[in-house]
Amino acid sequence: MRHVLCALVQNVPGVLSHIAGMLASRGYNIDSLAVGETEDPHLSRMTFVVMGDDAVLEQVRKQLEKIVTVVRVDDIGSQDHVERDLMLMKVATANGTRSEIRELVEIFRGRIVDVAPEMVMIEMSGQERKIEAFIEMMRPFGILELVRTGRIAMARGKTD
């Protein structure tokens, strides 16, 4: 089972490597990871996805809560939440395919952010399945380069 966890951590050097090292040393794989400063410059939010049953989730939570720089850990996946990925992709535009690519970008609500004679760069955000579907639609055109962020997520409604 897929679990989306958010950890509020102190914004200090080494916190990311400490947390990633702790998870790796216990055999937990991080499927997705995104880290960024919050509205408070002293805190960062780490959003990561781990695979496993409820026992794995509970172990990960307990281990994270033991780390001094971790302020709070929330299982966002068990709450009503909004989740997004961000992707940048370069796609080849040979043989007059630019207009077809542009139409697909519009259908998927993406944006073309750079144009060159032989390629376009596309920006897209959305749920993982949307990003995956768009990637599959672009494969026949020739994906030249692709980069994605880790998942970010936030629980709906008022926070504690």
Task: Walk along the chain (160 residues) and give the pLDDT tens digit of each residue.
Answer: 788 889 999 999 999 898 888 888 888 888 888 999 999 999 999 998 888 888 888 888 888 888 889 999 988 888 899 999 999 999 999 888 999 999 999 999 999 999 999 999 999 999 999 999 999 999 999 999 999 998 999 989 876 6
Residues 17 and 72 in one domain: yes
Q: 45 and 15: one domain?
A: yes
C-alpha distances out from residue 10 to 19, 20, 88, 154, Å: 12, 15, 29, 18
Domain boundary among 32, 50, 78: 78
Rounded distance between C-alpha atoms, residue 138 and residue 118, angstroms: 15
Tokens of 17: 């490597």
Angle between the 15-25 and 54-66 helix axes, to the nearest 10 degrees? 140
Tell me, what's the pLDDT at 143?
A: 97
| CATH, residue 94 | 3.30.70.1150
Question: Is 90 within 8 Å of 142 (Cβ atoms)?
Answer: no
Number of domains the chain is built from: 2
**Close Cβ partners of 63 (under 8 Å, ≥ 6 residues apart):** 22, 23, 26
SS3 13: coil
Q: Is residue 36 part of a domain?
A: yes
The pLDDT, as a whole number, for residue 160 is 63
Total-model pTM: 0.80
Q: Evaluate whether 63 touches 73 at the Cβ level (below 8 Å).
A: no
Q: How far apart are CA 33 and CA 20, in angstroms?
A: 10
At 62 the pLDDT is 86
Residue 3: what pLDDT?
86
Parent domain of 68: 2-78
Task: Answer yes or no: do 6 and 73 share one domain.
Answer: yes
Would you state the pLDDT for residue 159? 67
The pLDDT value recorded for residue 129 is 93
- State whether 95 and 31 are in the same domain: no
Is 160 within a domain?
Answer: no
- For residues 157 and 80, give the distance between their C-alpha atoms in angstroms, rounded to a whole number: 9
